[in-house]
Structure 1
């Protein structure tokens, strides 16, 4: 699509030409119109540039009229793996009646991530604070420096004190269990590091602890993170120790 194909002046919404080109290649007119509407309601003023790109979604840094940064996650309708999404949605009673077609499932997934962030935040899990979700767009807190530098993913981060990081990670997982939720895809790709502390992201696929495969997903999360923690220096940590530390934290003993 070219800039003339849109119903709005996108140069104000996307001041950088590179960002406009990215949108023209990846997102449809409906998404552009939706962003313009959300900007008009004051959720942000401009979309600046992508800070994370993936097959299913792009995350952009945005800024509001007061100069505060925001993160905007936009799911791609055409390339999202909606069958994979449907597997996670089908056991959530809120989305039992979603039509089995791509756009409806992606919209439901976006709403699920928004409500999951709210619930996790309520239970003291360190996640980005959600602001608004509509269709395939999620606006949330920007995780990074005051100068606007995005926090790195754990896979790219250097941890100054891995013991303190581990303690915080254990507490976050314990709080998730208190919320009766399991991440389901926890890895060093889905954790940001700010001030040497973990920030849990990409929670669209969280599942309730009552899910038929909850135990399998939980143990997979722990095994994934155990490998990451070994790479960061906790080479003596075992699965049983990790499991026990989370259990103690959940019971208030750690």
Structure 2
């Protein structure tokens, strides 16, 4: 096929030999199958902001920072240059997330580089070497649904241990290769520690999984993995292999307000006594 204009620089630089075909076109990018030497890979070409169906909602971008202070100030002001930098930062979010998650052992496509709005990455393939299908295109047995759900919950935990929440996880951005689910599409990835919306994003991601797999295994519809995972994460004790039950109970025990106030009063008394002692010592010194 004719080489898309955005991929032409990669061909000129020898990073891509030939564009074989278009694989898919989504709300944020168009993905092509490309030949790179002996390897078949994907080239994800991000759409311009005015062409995307998915926009940079503030609840995704909260907590994101760029290293260049000039760019950060321009983005905050919303200048023309700032909007350009914001667009670049939006694209870089997926690239950075892929590198970080791949290093953490999360099943995501391996990235091979990012060039002027084009992400070169691994082609996720099925057992026959063809592009892997999306999860929503498969018909699952109850056993497969339970297995895939368990695998994805573990991937969600791995991501959170790496400090990242997908933010838009569903059956539409999960591929299934010969070894199981592979998570894709991460431009809206959320910084778990810096974004106040992180718990809600995690809850929605996990709820999407429960609702989809619950069609084949109804018992998954009543699980509460998100709340359980987040509660453990907040204690600082979440590990990639932390045992999970899918159950979560909220404590209804009344707070011991009297004890808390007593501790506060004691601390205040100690602080005031220390100040009085320091004043006396200064007076004696004179």
Give the alignment's TM-score, normalised by structure 2. 0.69
Preserved CA contact (<8 Å) 1:182 1:208: yes
Compare CA radii of gyration and give the structure with the larger one: 2
* Cα RMSD for the two superposed structures: 2.6
Residue 105 of structure 1 corresponds to which residue in structure 2? 86
Q: Normalising by structure 1, what TM-score?
A: 0.77
Corresponding position of 2:196: 212
Q: Corresponding residue for 2:42?
A: 71
Residue 171 of structure 1 deviates from its aligned partner by 1.3
The residue that corresponds to 1:172 in the other structure is: 155
**Residue ranges of structure 1 left out of the alignment (5+ in a row):** 1-15, 24-31
Q: Deviations over 1:63-85 (max 9, x none)?
A: 1122x111111111141358525
Distance 1:139 1:126, change over 3 A: same
Secondary structure, counterpart of 1:175 in structure 2: helix
Matches within 5 A, 1:65-214: 65-66=37-38, 68-77=39-48, 78-80=50-52, 83-84=55-56, 88-94=60-66, 96-97=72-73, 99=75, 100=78, 101=80, 102-145=83-126, 148-159=129-140, 161-195=144-178, 197-210=180-193, 211-214=195-198
- The alpha-carbon deviation at position 241 of structure 1 amounts to 5.1
Residue 73 of structure 1 aligns to a residue whose secondary structure is strand
Residue 241 to residue 182, structure 1, CA distance change in 2 (3 Å): closer
1:40 corresponds to 2:30: no
Q: Aligned pair in 2 of structure 1 residues 251, 151: CA closer, same or farther (>3 Å)?
A: closer
Among 214, 225, 235, the alignment partner of 1:230 is: 214
1:53 aligns with 2:53: no
Write out the 4+ residue segments of structure 1 that deviate beyond 4 Å after TM superposition: 241-249
Distance in 2 of aligned mates of 1:125 and 1:132: 18
1:180-203 Cα shifts (integer Å, max 9, x gaps): 111111111111111251100001
Unaligned runs of 5+ residues in structure 2 are 233-237, 245-286
The count of residues paired between Structure 1 and Structure 2 equals: 224
